[in-house]
Amino acid sequence: MLTLEDDLGRLSYLVTGDGPPVVLVHAGVADHRMWDEVWPGLAERHTVIRYDLRGFGESAPPSGPFREADDLRRLLDHLGHERVRLVGASWGGRVALDFVLAHPDRVHSLAVFSPPWRGYDWSADMIAYDEKETAALAAGDLDAAVQVNLDMWLRGPSRTWEDVAAGLADRLRGPLRTSLENQDVVGTHSQGPAAGDLAAVPVPTLVGVGKLDIEDFQDIARRYAAEIPDATLVEFATAAHLIALDAPAELTALLVPFLAR
């Protein structure tokens, strides 16, 4: 991977293909590799930029206060891209939303899949998940914390593990472990999502969600689609939270014409 060094550490990234630039921002339980089955179909028409958020994958944990949207701006400045198409999954979707609210003139279009909602009133199931993860980490059992997250974000509430494609859990286990190892330092230094009015999002937007995801995120997706002026809601029947892993072909087929607009 290529590296952008700064006073907070380093950001690791990859650039592939040629054409109008597209940035893929990964989920908070993954890294740039979650897009492995999606980016080749996009790189036929676009310059595809994948990077690891601070404390994920090969990007170092931050050494001081930071904002993910500022990191994205820094990376785009470094690469010389004035205006891009943005695609974000889960927490990466929230990063993408923050970026377009802060820098609307630098975004051509936006696609977000299962992003969280600031201040959402989480269900009992989500609270129970958080308590399980917290207890596992407090006990020093990182393997158990990884499994709690795999059960929630990959398997989801509607499936058994027999319903999940073979090999996906093994692909996600390493990136997830890294994210948990760095969770405290990232949480300490992250300034969190910025406030902003979704009605001010000025670009065509896709909002996607898996029908097998927890109901909280299905409700959130509907909220985003209702609040963003030029937004279209798309539901993936065979996917849980991580659509790029569960339904990469369907996701690519959706993105190709949308990004070509």
CATH (domain of 233): 3.40.50.1820
CB 92 within 8 A of CB 69: no
Report the pLDDT averaged over residues 25-32: 98
Q: What is the pLDDT of residue 11?
A: 98
**Helix extents (H) in 23-67:** 39-43
Q: Give the closest residue to 62 by CA, choosing from 13, 6, 24.
A: 6
Report the pLDDT averaged over residues 159-177: 97
Asked whether residue 70 is assigned to any structural domain, the reply reads yes
Asked whether residue 225 is assigned to any structural domain, the reply reads yes
In the predicted model, what is the mean pLDDT of the chain? 97
| pLDDT tens-digit readout, 109-155 | 999 999 999 899 999 999 999 999 999 999 999 999 999 999 999 99
Asked whether residue 69 is assigned to any structural domain, the reply reads yes
Q: Indicate whether 45 pLDDT > 80.
A: yes
Asked whether residue 131 is assigned to any structural domain, the reply reads no
Asked whether residue 169 is assigned to any structural domain, the reply reads no
**Helix extents (H) in 122-182:** 124-138, 142-149, 168-181
> Residue 191 corresponds to which amino acid?
Q
- The domain tally of the chain equals 1
Could you give the 3-state DSSP secondary structure of residue 4?
strand
What is the chain's alpha carbon radius of gyration, rounded to the nearest angstrom?
17
Q: Which domain holds residue 81?
A: 2-121+186-259
pTM strictly above 0.95: yes
Q: What is the pLDDT of residue 192?
A: 73
Q: Give the closest residue to 183 by CA, choosing from 50, 54, 4.
A: 54
Q: Indicate whether 196 pLDDT > 90.
A: no
CB 241 within 8 A of CB 154: yes
Asked whether residue 177 is assigned to any structural domain, the reply reads no
Report the distance separating Cα 165 and Cα 169, nearest Å.
8
Instruction: Pull the structure tokens for residue 228.
Output: 């963003």
Instruction: Pull the structure tokens for residue 220.
Output: 């959130």
Asked whether residue 140 is assigned to any structural domain, the reply reads no
* HSE toward the beta carbon, residue 178, CA cutoff 13 A: 20
| pLDDT tens-digit readout, 228-243 | 999 999 999 999 999 9
> Residue 34 corresponds to which amino acid?
M
Asked whether residue 73 is assigned to any structural domain, the reply reads yes
Tell me the pLDDT band of 195, cut-offs 50, 70 and 90: confident
Torsion of CA 26, 16, 208, 177, to 10 degrees: -20
- How distant, in Å, are the alpha carbons of 31, 35, 71, 149 from that of 108? 24, 20, 19, 33
Q: Indicate whether 194 pLDDT > 90.
A: no
Q: Within 10 A of 208 (CB to CB), how many other CB atoms are there?
A: 28
Q: What is the pLDDT of residue 156?
A: 97
